Amino acid sequence: MKTSAEHPAAARKLVDAGLTEELARMKLFPKKEMPSGMRKLNYWAMNKIRKALKDPASSCWTNIFAPVEILECFDLSCLSMEALSSFMSGFKIEDHLINGAESSGIAPTMCSYHKNFIGGVDAGIFPPVPFSVTTSLACDGNISTFRHVERKYGVKSYVIDIPYAFSRDAKGYVTGQLKDLIKALESRTGKKFDIDRLRQVIRRENLSRRYYGRYLDEVSHRYYPKTLTLEMFLLFATHLDIGTEDTLEIFRLLSRDVKKYPEMKGKRIFWDYLIPYYQPTLQEYFNYNEDFMIQAMDMNMDYMHQMDEAHPLEALAEKMIRNMFNGPYERRATHVAKLVRHFQPDGVISFCHWGCRQSSGGVNILREEMRRIGMPLLVLDGDAIDRRNSHDGQIKTRLEAFLEMIK
C-alpha cells in the first residue's frame, strides 16, 4: 500500500478493499472472546468510515470535539481527522504519510494525527470534502491544519472558537458562532435546519450518556474483555456519532452486555488520554487479559453532564466550554481525580502523545494530584499512531515495573 500511495485512486481502492475485507471477516469469523456490545461497536465504527470515504460529497471533516450534533441534522457524515489518521496507522502506512507531510515543510514536532491527516490528503487517500467543521478546544493544531488544507485544496474551514473559561458571555459567543455555522451549512447544503431535530439528537445523546453511565459503573469492577483498539473505538460513540440512533443502541447494548461478565479479579487500570493501540507490550498486557484490564479512559468521559434539550445550541456551547480539556490543566487533573475515585483502579497510566503539548505539558500537575489522592501513576511517552515514536523496550520496562509495583 505504501507504494500505491503515490497513485491515489489505487490507494483509495486498497483502503476500501481493506475495510471491506475486515468487515466481512468480522461478520463471518467473529472473535469469540469479544463481547457482543464491543462487536457491534467495532463493526459499526469501521463501516461508518468506509461509507463516508466512499461518499465525500455528503461528508465533512471534523476533529474529535466538533459539534457533530448539528452536522447530523444536515445528514452529513463526520470524518474526524483523528479517526482517519488512526485507520491509516491501522493499515501501517502512517510512516509514509507522515514523511510526506514533513517533507512538504510541516514541522516534524507536530502531532502525528495532524501530520498523518495532511499527508493523507496530499497523497489523495482522503478525497477532499466540501468543508470542515472544527473547534479550537484543547488543541491549537486544528486551526493551522484545516487552514492549510483549505488553502491547498479549497476545503472551506469553519472553526468554532472556544473561550478558555465558562461565563454567560462566553456561552453567548459560542452560541452565536453555532448560529453562523448553521446559516453557512444551510446555504451550502440547500437544506433547512430543523431545531426540533437537534432537540431529538440531544435527547438521544442524554439517553446515551445515561446508558453509558450504567455501563461504566459495571465495567469498573467487572472483567469485560476488551482490546486497546476497542477502547479507542469507543470515541466514535462518545464523540463522533453521539446523538444518533445507532450510538444509542450501542450504549444500550453495552449497558446490558457488561452485566453478564464476572467480577474482575486481576489488576484494574484507569487510562488517562490516548492509547497507542498498536503497541505490542501494551497489547500483550491489556488485550483480553483477565489479569490486567483497562477499565476506561478519561477521553471517553470528558463531558458527562445531561444537556438542556429545550435550548440545544446553548447546551452544545456549554458542553464545549465545560469540556475537561478546556481551561487550566488543574480542571483536568481534578476531573481525572474524581473519575479515579469513582473507578477505584489499582493504578493510573497517563500517556504523553508525541507533539501534544496541551496534554504532556500538564503531566507534572497530574502527578501531584495523583500523589495527593494516593494513586500510583505511570507516565508513558510515545505516539498514539506513529510506531516509530514509541519505543517498545522503554515502554516494556516501565510498564512491567509499574505492574510489579502495584501488585
Partner 1 sequence: MIGYVCKYTPLEMFESMGAEMVRIQPQAADQSRADALLHPNMCSFVKAALEDALTRDYEGIVLTTCCDSVRRLYDALKDQLPGRFIYILDVPRKVNEFSAGIFRDNIARMIRSYEDFSGKSFDQSSFLEIMKRRAAAASLSGAPRRDDRLRVGLAGVRCSQGIKNLLEDHGVQILFDMTCTGLKRRFPSFEGREGQEEPGRTLYDYAWDLLNQVPCMRMVKASGRQRYMEGFSDRLDGIICHTVKFCDMYAFEYNAIKESMDLPVLLVDTDLTAQSEGQIRTRIEAFLESLKTARRDKEGLAGAAGAVRNESGRPPRPAGGGGRAMYVLGVDSGSTSTNAVIMDGDRKIVAFDVIRTGAKSGDSARKALENVLEKAGIARSDLAGIVSTGYGRVSIPYADENVTEISCHGRGAHYFNPAVRTVLDIGGQDSKAISLNEKGDVVDFVMNDKCAAGTGRFLEAMARTLEIGVDQLGPVSMNWKENIEITSMCTVFAESEVISLIARNKEIADIAHGIHGAIAGKAFSLLKRVGLKDEFMMTGGVALNEGVVKAVEERVGSRLFICDQPEIVGAVGAALFALEKYAG
Q: Based on C-alpha coordinates, what's the Rg of the chain?
A: 20
CB of 389 to partner 1, least distance (A): 8
Q: Rounded to an integer, what distance in angstroms lies between the CA atom of residue 171 and that of residue 160?
A: 12
Among 20, 36, 104, 344, the residue binding partner 1 under the rule CB under 8 A is: 104
Among positions 334-353, residues that touch partner 1 (CB under 8 A) are: 352
Instruction: Return the bridge partners of 157, or none.
Output: 132
CB of 61 to partner 1, least distance (A): 16
397 lines the binding site for partner 1 (CB under 8 A): no
CB of 100 to partner 1, least distance (A): 9
CB of 124 to partner 1, least distance (A): 17
Q: Rounded to an integer, what distance in angstroms lies between the CA atom of residue 322 and that of residue 174?
A: 12
329 lines the binding site for partner 1 (CB under 8 A): yes
CB of 328 to partner 1, least distance (A): 5
Reading the block at residue 337, the C-alpha cell is 481525580
Name which of 141, 145, 98 is nearest 383 in CA terms.
98
Q: Rounded to an integer, what distance in angstroms lies between the CA atom of residue 12 and that of residue 16?
A: 6
Q: Rounded to an integer, what distance in angstroms lies between the CA atom of residue 243 and that of residue 201?
A: 5
Among 27, 151, 183, 191, the residue binding partner 1 under the rule CB under 8 A is: 151
CB of 352 to partner 1, least distance (A): 6
Name which of 45, 52, 46 is nearest 75 in CA terms.
52
CB of 28 to partner 1, least distance (A): 33
How many of the other CB atoms lie within 10 Å of CB of 81?
Answer: 28
Q: Rounded to an integer, what distance in angstroms lies between the CA atom of residue 217 and that of residue 209?
A: 12
Name which of 347, 336, 219, 340 is nearest 285 in CA terms.
347
CB of 317 to partner 1, least distance (A): 13
Among positions 163-202, residues that touch partner 1 (CB under 8 A) are: 163-165, 169-170, 172-173, 176-177
Q: Rounded to an integer, what distance in angstroms lies between the CA atom of residue 339 and that of residue 204?
A: 24
Considering the complex, state which of residue 113 and residue 215 has its C-beta at the smaller distance from partner 1: 113
Q: Rounded to an integer, what distance in angstroms lies between the CA atom of residue 128 and that of residue 290?
A: 44
391 lines the binding site for partner 1 (CB under 8 A): yes
Among 20, 36, 344, 364, the residue binding partner 1 under the rule CB under 8 A is: 364
Q: Rounded to an integer, what distance in angstroms lies between the CA atom of residue 187 and that of residue 284?
A: 51
Q: Rounded to an integer, what distance in angstroms lies between the CA atom of residue 114 and that of residue 394?
A: 25
Q: Which stretch binds partner 1 (CB under 8 A): 47-55, 96-104, 226-234, 297-305?
A: 96-104
CB of 25 to partner 1, least distance (A): 27
Considering the complex, state which of residue 340 and residue 379 has its C-beta at the smaller distance from partner 1: 379
- Is residue 292 helix, strand or coil? strand
358 lines the binding site for partner 1 (CB under 8 A): yes
Q: Any residues with CB less than 8 A from the CB of 158 and at least 6 apart, and which?
A: 131, 132, 133, 134, 181, 184
Considering the complex, state which of residue 137 and residue 201 has its C-beta at the smaller distance from partner 1: 137
365 lines the binding site for partner 1 (CB under 8 A): yes
Considering the complex, state which of residue 51 and residue 388 has its C-beta at the smaller distance from partner 1: 388
Name which of 91, 65, 109 is nearest 5 in CA terms.
91
Q: Rounded to an integer, what distance in angstroms lies between the CA atom of residue 125 and that of residue 85?
A: 11
4 lines the binding site for partner 1 (CB under 8 A): no
Considering the complex, state which of residue 209 and residue 332 has its C-beta at the smaller distance from partner 1: 332
Among 102, 249, 309, 346, the residue binding partner 1 under the rule CB under 8 A is: 102
Among 20, 36, 144, 306, the residue binding partner 1 under the rule CB under 8 A is: 144
Reading the block at residue 112, the C-alpha cell is 502525528
Among positions 118-137, residues that touch partner 1 (CB under 8 A) are: 136
Cβ atoms 342, 298 nearer than 8 A: no
Residues that bind partner 1 (CB under 8 A): 95, 99, 102-111, 114, 136, 139-141, 143-144, 147-148, 151, 159, 161, 163-165, 169-170, 172-173, 176-177, 328-330, 352, 354-358, 360-365, 368, 381, 387-388, 391, 393
